[in-house]
Structure 1
Amino acid sequence: MTHGSLSPLAVRRLIVLVFSLGLIFAPLRNMAQHASAQPITRGAALRLATRTPRPTRTPAVTLTPTSTATATATLPPMVTTGPVVGGVASTSAVVFVRVSAAAAVQIQYSTDPNFSSEVFTTPGIEAVADSDFTAQMPLSELLPNTAYYYRILINNEVQTLPVQPHFTTFPSPDNVLDEFRFVVFSDANLLDQPSAVYQTAANDQPAFVMQIGDFDHRNPGVLPNPAVIDNWRVMHRDMLHDSAAGADFATYIGSAHPFFHMWDDHDYGANNADYRASWKGMALQAFKEYYPLPTLPNPEGGLWHSFRNAQAEVFMLDLRSQRSPDDASDGPDHSMLDAQHISNGQKDWLKASLLASTAKWKFVVSTSVWNPHSKQVDSWYQFQTEQQELVQFIHDNNITGVVILSGDLHSNGGIDNGANSYFPEVSVPLQSHKAEQGCTGGLCGDWSEGIISDMTQPGYALITVRHDAATGADSAILQAKGEGGSVRISYTVTLP
């Protein structure tokens, strides 16, 4: 054998070794190529970004590695919750989004779904840890009654979303539409199950959608204990996206319809909670982080607000953050609206706003039952002095077109023509709840057009506003509908 050359036996051994290494590493190389060829879905990427890495099994080899260095891939920030559009008016809107890490967030919007012309971009807003990486981005100088398409930019990169988000601005306030519809949800408690009612309601093509309390029943002011702001933040993420029901909301409602929300006790923080809650500040902060809102009359005091679509104005009452304890004695100071008599309080705002409204229809959202002949606890029944004050104010000032939209009863829908509730009232069907019978609080009560109390059947309310241009007649059709879209109860209100 010549010095420096390999023997035939050594050559054969080297060939076998090289071949063996090829067998070992080829599958790993194929797996890596296969993984790189597969698109990472939004949900899969989020799971990669948030889950604890599992230890990986190292293939058995005959060679001892000379290095144990590893590399960790860092995913760029991405959308985790939203977008949701709200605070919509004739020329403005607000878009909410949450991202996975600190980043600059923008909205790019256009009337062109292909974004090939007239594309506008909002200034960047920093999503930071202090606000749970959420951003609220106002859109201004929009055209009335116009469809807009939008997309999310994170650090100047356009994000790929499962569906193309869009919305339509409201008409100018002085416009009267021949017809429009809106949807109302209330009382949900089965977030771990798909919610078909969202798709059904979306098929009604509503101009906007409302959720009027108890979006969930987890009582974040109580559990987990002690109460921390993440209790509310996690709940909001679940309701808007991170659950089976939340995924349906994101697909059928949040991505396509202006959305307005008001809390009741269980999503405020605790059963029958009022202004005394020690965690109220955290509840308010988390709500403002996660829901796109119109301008609030008193943002430090509470969440009450109003908005207008054509000939209808909606007054969203906050019946928790300024509410007296239910069991206190009724009287002039016992208040659903202003227990603390704060400056620029809710009751004064409601009276002044009703008086000033030029809308034909005034829909008042009461997250607690308004009808005093219905639920007798945690309802307006315990606040009859203040209720009578409001009723008298409306009558004395000849304010017409008042309709009450109420939640919390856990009915499958009820409607009163005003015989029991002073004004026409809809008890909005529960959206989803554990199977029970009867109404919460033990009394469904008297409703002139009927009430359904089989709590195993979800549903929603549909309100249709009509104007007959030929005759000048104005009407509002109030309907309680089932999960499949069937009409359970219907009543038509006409203006004098």
Structure 2
Amino acid sequence: MNRYCLILCFLFLSFSTFAQLVSGPMLGPVELRTAKVWVEVKPGSNVLLQYWKKGSAPQSYQIIEKKTSKEDWFSPVVFDIVGLEMNTTYEYRVVVNQKQVTPPQKADGSFTTKDLWQWRKPAPDFSFLTGSCAYFNEPVFDRPGKPYGGDSSIFETMAKEKTAFMLWLGDNWYTREVDYGDKWGLWYRASHDRSSPVLQSFLKSTSHIGMWDDHDYGPNDIGSSYILKDESRKVFMNYFPNTSFGMNGQGIYSMYSYGDVDVFMLDDRWWRSTDAFKDSVNGAPNSEKTMLGKEQLHWLKNALLHSRATFKFIANGSQVLNPVSPYDKLLSCPAEYNELMDFLKEYKINGVVFLSGDRHHTEIIKVNRDGTYPLYDITSSPLTSGTHKFSGPEANNPYRILGIDEKQNYTRFSFSGERNKRKMLVEFFGIKGEKLGEWTVTENELKSPR
């Protein structure tokens, strides 16, 4: 076969794969010896993943193959790549419905496995991104008037970042009235929004982990009463290749570790009471009003006690601390809030920082505590959904030490420094990567007195 024929064959095979891809590939969690790659294809497709060590001969690739059912409405697929070498870069390529598979000529993406630094060397310097509230316009189903979704090119900016992973803080897609009344609609919305062309470069640029809030769970402000929550959980598990999703078939809470950072991703919807429940009864916190639930709160306490991370992020879809917010927050469930705060202080859990989304503005809330270090709640929002101006009781929030309103934005967390002197730099960026603000804290500022 001459060179011209080889080029035509390659172009044909590439077009064939592209025609069958709905979205992706997206890189999931990458560990010391394993990695996850997610992709969505059309139902009934045969899809395989070729992967190889970067720099090795093209013939040395390995294959993982999966077949999707024609009976499925939608066909997201997760490839688990195992038995890898540590601290090694691999490349991969997705092939769909090709009768003859040839050695890869070009990679769709790459990843580098983690390094085994524990007990051997200092913790690595690294960064991760985060953000929430990603609305993709679909005019036929959107509310009349000005489109709610903003400039999606923010994802092209984020794709240029050299970072360890992206943490999606909730409202990662927005179900509409035509979506959340039936099972098919929930699947449709996740598939439709994930397939947005502007997202694709970002999906393969870094690892992705996620948690939900109300809009990617179901209707606005819904909680445990949502009648399709089991199906919503299935959808979420198929569109985010997290390491785990709750326990005993309940919720989606999980955790992710990188370097000397642990991220505890909470589920603020599965066990959540309706916001209309009273915060207190006869002057005492109402123990029946919950956001996290007994099972999840018990897991969080144990996980925090087990953690040896320098920085421990407790990530929640809703804000946790903001005393001035008139909207949903863990503080509005005072029984759970007090239980968590008392636990953190009693057991002297160091390095705790709260992360949240939801609010359509970005801010850092600081709450002082008697006899120990202050707590911070860093809210990152929105990526593309509507924005607003600080107003009402929050216009001059005395607990706010940094605020960004009326701007789409994302957040980058960076960690550096030698042992016992680690520093966290938090930077906020706009649509085109312009810096909107920054804040720094050291590990020693997040320690309980001895």
Amino acid at match of 2:417: H
Alignment-derived partner of residue 134 in structure 2 = 188
Amino acid at match of 1:432: T
Secondary structure of 1:364's aligned partner: strand
CA distance in 2 between partners of 1:82 and 1:115 (Å):
25
1:335 aligns with 2:290: yes
Alignment-derived partner of residue 157 in structure 2 = 200
Amino acid at match of 1:321: W
Q: CA deviation at 1:184?
A: 0.3
Secondary structure of 1:433's aligned partner: coil
2:157·2:431 contact (CA, 8 Å) conserved in 1?
yes
Alignment-derived partner of residue 172 in structure 1 = 116
Distance change in 2, residues 1:359/1:489 (3 Å): same
Amino acid at match of 1:182: F
CA distance in 2 between partners of 1:487 and 1:348 (Å):
39
2:125·2:417 contact (CA, 8 Å) conserved in 1?
yes
CA distance in 2 between partners of 1:392 and 1:142 (Å):
43
Residues 235-254 of structure 1 deviation map (CA, whole Å, 9 limit, x = unaligned): 2123222xxxx222211x21
1:108·1:152 contact (CA, 8 Å) conserved in 2?
yes
**From 12, 27, 33, the counterpart of 1:85:** 27
Secondary structure of 1:250's aligned partner: helix
1:291 aligns with 2:240: yes
Distance change in 2, residues 1:140/1:486 (3 Å): same
1:392 aligns with 2:342: yes
Amino acid at match of 2:376: P
Residues 129-186 of structure 1 deviation map (CA, whole Å, 9 limit, x = unaligned): 3362222221122233332211123356559999722223333372643410100011
Distance change in 2, residues 1:461/1:45 (3 Å): closer
Secondary structure of 1:94's aligned partner: strand
Alignment-derived partner of residue 119 in structure 1 = 61
CA distance in 2 between partners of 1:424 and 1:287 (Å):
28
Alignment-derived partner of residue 408 in structure 1 = 358
Amino acid at match of 1:228: D
Q: CA deviation at 1:428?
A: 0.4
Distance change in 2, residues 1:483/1:417 (3 Å): same
Alignment-derived partner of residue 96 in structure 1 = 38
Residues 264-310 of structure 1 deviation map (CA, whole Å, 9 limit, x = unaligned): 10111111110110011221111112221202341610111001111
Amino acid at match of 1:164: D
1:183·1:209 contact (CA, 8 Å) conserved in 2?
yes
Amino acid at match of 2:380: V
Residues 396-422 of structure 1 deviation map (CA, whole Å, 9 limit, x = unaligned): 1121111111101110x2123444995
Secondary structure of 2:404's aligned partner: coil
Q: TM-score normalised to the size of structure 1?
A: 0.75
Alignment-derived partner of residue 427 in structure 2 = 479
Structure with greater proportional strand content: 2
Distance change in 2, residues 1:116/1:43 (3 Å): closer
Distance change in 2, residues 1:287/1:224 (3 Å): closer
CA distance in 2 between partners of 1:240 and 1:453 (Å):
26
1:495 aligns with 2:436: no
2:244·2:252 contact (CA, 8 Å) conserved in 1?
no
Q: How does 1:254-265 map to 2 (within 5 A)?
A: 254-265=203-214
The count of aligned residue pairs is 412
Secondary structure of 1:129's aligned partner: coil
Q: TM-score normalised to the size of structure 2?
A: 0.82
Distance change in 2, residues 1:361/1:145 (3 Å): farther
Alignment-derived partner of residue 427 in structure 1 = 379
Distance change in 2, residues 1:429/1:352 (3 Å): same
CA distance in 1 between partners of 2:396 and 2:53 (Å):
47
Larger Rg over CA atoms: 1
1:197·1:483 contact (CA, 8 Å) conserved in 2?
yes
**From 272, 285, 302, the counterpart of 1:352:** 302
2:214·2:222 contact (CA, 8 Å) conserved in 1?
yes
Q: CA deviation at 1:485?
A: 2.1
CA distance in 2 between partners of 1:152 and 1:303 (Å):
28
2:50·2:61 contact (CA, 8 Å) conserved in 1?
yes
Distance change in 2, residues 1:374/1:347 (3 Å): same
CA distance in 1 between partners of 2:274 and 2:60 (Å):
53
1:127·1:134 contact (CA, 8 Å) conserved in 2?
no
CA distance in 1 between partners of 2:248 and 2:69 (Å):
21
Secondary structure of 1:206's aligned partner: coil
Q: CA deviation at 1:441?
A: 10
1:178·1:468 contact (CA, 8 Å) conserved in 2?
no
Q: CA deviation at 1:97?
A: 1.6
- What residue ranges of structure 1 are gaps of 5+ in the alignment? 1-35, 47-77
CA distance in 2 between partners of 1:441 and 1:154 (Å):
54
CA distance in 2 between partners of 1:299 and 1:110 (Å):
36
Amino acid at match of 2:220: N
CA distance in 1 between partners of 2:124 and 2:430 (Å):
26
Distance change in 2, residues 1:432/1:355 (3 Å): same
Distance change in 2, residues 1:119/1:441 (3 Å): farther
Q: CA deviation at 1:191?
A: 4.1
Alignment-derived partner of residue 197 in structure 2 = 247
- What residue ranges of structure 2 are gaps of 5+ in the alignment? 1-8, 139-149, 280-285, 445-450
1:172·1:310 contact (CA, 8 Å) conserved in 2?
no
Q: CA deviation at 1:118?
A: 4.5
1:474·1:495 contact (CA, 8 Å) conserved in 2?
yes
Amino acid at match of 2:186: W
1:364 aligns with 2:314: yes
Distance change in 2, residues 1:43/1:443 (3 Å): farther
1:391·1:422 contact (CA, 8 Å) conserved in 2?
no
Distance change in 2, residues 1:204/1:45 (3 Å): closer
Amino acid at match of 1:414: E
CA distance in 2 between partners of 1:336 and 1:170 (Å):
34
Alignment-derived partner of residue 275 in structure 2 = 326
Amino acid at match of 2:383: Q
Secondary structure of 2:126's aligned partner: strand
1:171·1:309 contact (CA, 8 Å) conserved in 2?
no
2:25·2:108 contact (CA, 8 Å) conserved in 1?
no
Distance change in 2, residues 1:144/1:395 (3 Å): farther
CA distance in 1 between partners of 2:105 and 2:313 (Å):
34
CA distance in 1 between partners of 2:65 and 2:72 (Å):
20
